[in-house]
Amino acid sequence: MEKIINQFLPKAIVLKNEILSGGLIHQTRKVTVEEEGISKAYVLQQFNANTFKEPYKVMKNLSLVQKHLSQQDYPLELPQAIETIKSKNLIEDDDGNFWRMFPFLKNSTSYDIPPNDDYLFEAGKAYGLFLTGLKDFDVEALEITIPNFHNLAQRFQTFLEILKIASPSRKEKAAKEIEQTLAFYHKFSIEFSNLPLRAVHNDSKLSNLLFDKDSQACVAVIDLDTLMPGYVVTDFGDMVRGMCNTSSEDEADLSKVSFDSKRYDLLEKGFLSATGDWLTKEEKDNLFNGAIYIILEQAIRFLGDYLNNDQYYSAKYPEHNFDRGRNQLCLLEDMILVNTSKFINR
Ligand code: GN1
Ligand code: MG
């Protein structure tokens, strides 16, 4: 690994190399190095080219967005991918693995679940500022790195295909959840094609924000790999999915899983504090629908992956994706139960 690091940082001596928790797709490490007598920290990522089949397109989108935001009055940090002496920001090793590096923002940290309710407004505002910085970005310029990424109808079709080939034992284990998924889809499949297509983050979870450890202010929106044309409401929905759940997304004890309306209100307030003056009325009216859409989609993805023998999401134990899927279904059920009036059936 030192060989890889030295391609980006030729004079670095590696002092420490530790796994950073968080992502389900790439493997991310924090490396501390000494460069000409000074100690510095970086993020080293082994890029998952199974998920992102065309890694250079991901890096191209990242550069385009970085260029655009640097020309705006964008108030947050934007860690730039480090370039090797050959001006490459992504390298391939002899085994076909892809690697990239970013500076580690000093005194920053990320969270899987909000440490307290103050983080909700801050997180909503941060993603709001990010989308505000991109509101005039030409979506046509973006590469589609994962086609149909947030296409619920397509995800549902894939789920039906998986059902046909799933092992009888996994299907039996998930029988109740499969029924529930089918029922939810028929009741809550929504379409947003009448909303404006914008450059959106597409993976707006709490752990993709960096906070200052002391001030608790959000300092950066990170992980722009899925940034593609999409809908603002599904970005908002993904925030709700991760941050308004009273537990983590893989909590197996469903008595701990519920939808927290107070957190929802704080998140929405923060989000609209940054976006309220330019979002269309239709977009604002569909924020709650965005959450239903994305939670249902995520339930389908997790449960579908369980039925498909965990080919997409890494699973720490055999029922991990099953537990994740049940968790999302439980969250969705609770969310609808307490908020039926917010759902606009179109
Ligand atoms: C994946 O890699 P990570 O953890 O940032 C996934 C998201 C899911 C999320 C669930 C490219 O994100 O879509 O919502 O897991 N990213 C991809 O935790 O599939
Ligand atoms: Mg991600």
Q: Which ligand approaches the C-alpha of residue 51 most closely?
A: 1
pLDDT digits 0-9 by tens, 292-316: 999 999 999 999 999 999 999 989 9
Q: Whose CA is nearest to atom 8 of ligand 1?
A: 203
Query: CB of 20 closer than 6 A to ligand 1?
Result: no
Of 53, 69, 104, which residue sits at a domain end? 104
Residues 125 and 98 in one domain: no
Q: Which residue has the higher pLDDT, 69 or 26?
A: 69
User: pLDDT at position 345, please?
Assistant: 57
Surface-to-core class of residue 60, CB atoms within 10 Å of its CB (0-12 exposed, 13-18 middle, 19+ buried): middle
Residues 69 and 140 in one domain: no
- Tell me: pLDDT of 61 over 80: yes
Pocket test for ligand 1, best of 24, 209, 224 (most atoms within 8 A of CB): 24
Task: Establish if 311 belongs to a structural domain.
Answer: yes
Query: CB of 227 closer than 6 A to ligand 1?
Result: no
Task: Establish if 111 belongs to a structural domain.
Answer: no
- Tell me: pLDDT of 346 over 70: no
Task: Tell me the CA distances in angstroms from 244 to 102, 119, 144, 238, 333, one per residue in order.
Answer: 30, 11, 29, 10, 13
pLDDT confidence band for 156 (50 / 70 / 90): very high
User: pLDDT at position 337, please?
Assistant: 83
Residues 88 and 157 in one domain: no
Q: Percentage of the chain surpassing pLDDT 90?
A: 92
Residues 12 and 54 in one domain: yes
HSE toward the beta carbon, residue 203, CA cutoff 13 A: 17
- Residue 228 in 3-state DSSP? strand
Q: pTM to 2 decimals?
A: 0.95
Residues 132 and 270 in one domain: yes
Number of domains observed in the structure of the chain: 2
Taking a 5 Å cut-off on Cβ, the residues next to ion ligand 2 are 203, 223
What CATH number corresponds to the domain at position 78? 3.30.200.20
pLDDT digits 0-9 by tens, 216-261: 999 999 999 999 999 999 999 999 999 999 999 999 999 999 999 9
Of 50, 72, 104, which residue sits at a domain end? 104
- Mean pLDDT, the chain, rounded, equals 95
Residues 223 and 270 in one domain: yes
**Number of Cβ within a 10 Å radius of residue 71:** 10
Task: Establish if 308 belongs to a structural domain.
Answer: yes
Residues 54 and 178 in one domain: no
User: pLDDT at position 24, please?
Assistant: 78
Q: Which atom of ligand 1 is nearest to the CA of 26?
A: 2
Residues 85 and 191 in one domain: no
Residues 95 and 123 in one domain: no
Task: Establish if 113 belongs to a structural domain.
Answer: no
Range of the domain at 175: 118-342
**Number of Cβ within a 10 Å radius of residue 105:** 17
Of 51, 78, 104, which residue sits at a domain end? 104
**Number of Cβ within a 10 Å radius of residue 284:** 16
What CATH number corresponds to the domain at position 244? 3.90.1200.10
